[in-house]
Amino acid sequence: MALGLVIIFWYGILHAFGPDHLTAIADFSIGKEAKKTFLIVSAFAVGHGIMLFVFAKILQYYTLSEAFLSYGDVIASSVILSIGIYLLYMVFTNKIHIKTHTHGDKNHVHIWFGNEHQHESSTTTSAFGVGVLMGIGGVRGMLVTLGVLHGQVIDFGMILAFIAGVMVVFFSFGLVISWINKDILTNIQNVRRVFATVGVISVLVGGNMLLA
């Protein structure tokens, strides 16, 4: 069992390197403060792991069609594609804004969309939701791995091992995003370049997933 948990942990690491997962994290966390970035990363990973566990338990007793299991991928791909289009729209209509001020001896950067500076409160919840949707599609590959390793009841400890593996990659990627947010997004030119790049990647990844 201990060896099985280690292998599932490594499966979580490999699973997290999917371009759709990293793109979703970038979409939700680019331009955010470090604390917000890691809340988003955590919410995505937990939502992903919980949904994998729920559907893995369901599939122990019921057979679901391949078409049904693909719905999560289709919806998540559509979300990624839509966010990419939205980011590109915001860039090309000059609706992304930046403001820098100082707290004590530290510079503090605010980035927002639209005409007024508003703090977004639903980003973490949205990341959790996309993680859940992607978990529906990802359950097939995980079940193959779990079936080979265990062949018995899927328990929550196995899901925790999977989430831990996913977290290693997501938090590492979150550190990269935090560095970009802190050291690259310091002027409006860089903000537009980075958001345009993320937007293009999102459109390509989301569109490719829908066509696959």
Q: For 10-21, how does the pLDDT look when each residue is reduced to its tens digit (9 = 90+)? A: 888 888 888 888
3-state secondary structure the chain: CHHHHHHHHHHHHHHHCCHHHHHHHHHHHCCCCHHHHHHHHHHHHHHHHHHHHHHHHHHHHCCCCHHHHHHHHHHHHHHHHHHHHHHHHHHHCCCEEEEEEEECCEEEEEEEECCCCCCCCCHHHHHHHHHHHHHHHHHHHHHHHHHHHCCCCCCHHHHHHHHHHHHHHHHHHHHHHHHHHHHHCCCHHHHHHHHHHHHHHHHHHHHHHHHC
Q: What is the pLDDT of residue 148?
A: 47
Which of 60-69, 93-102, 180-189 has the weakest average pLDDT?
60-69
- Average the pLDDT over 37-46 and give the result: 90
- Average the pLDDT over 96-100 and give the result: 83
Mean pLDDT for the chain overall: 81
Above pLDDT 70, what percent of the chain? 77
Say which residues have a Cβ less than 8 Å from residue 75's Cβ, sequence separation at least 6: 133
Q: Which domain holds residue 95?
A: 2-211
Residue with tokens 């939205």: 86
Under the banding of pLDDT at 50, 70 and 90, the label for residue 169 is very high
- 83, 27 Cβ separation under 8 angstroms: yes
- Average the pLDDT over 58-85 and give the result: 78
For the full predicted model, state whether its pTM sits above 0.95: no
Q: What is the pLDDT of residue 116?
A: 56
Higher confidence at residue 59 or residue 208? 208
- Average the pLDDT over 172-180 and give the result: 93
Q: What is the pLDDT of residue 137?
A: 65
- Going by their DSSP bridges, the two strands 106-113 and 96-103 should be labelled as antiparallel
- 57, 152 Cβ separation under 8 angstroms: no
- 13, 191 Cβ separation under 8 angstroms: no
- 182, 30 Cβ separation under 8 angstroms: no
Under the banding of pLDDT at 50, 70 and 90, the label for residue 82 is very high
- Average the pLDDT over 51-62 and give the result: 74
- Average the pLDDT over 196-209 and give the result: 94
pLDDT in tens, 103-153: 666 666 778 777 655 555 578 888 888 888 777 766 666 555 555 445 555
Under the banding of pLDDT at 50, 70 and 90, the label for residue 206 is very high
Q: What is the pLDDT of residue 145?
A: 55
Q: How many domains does the chain divide into? A: 1
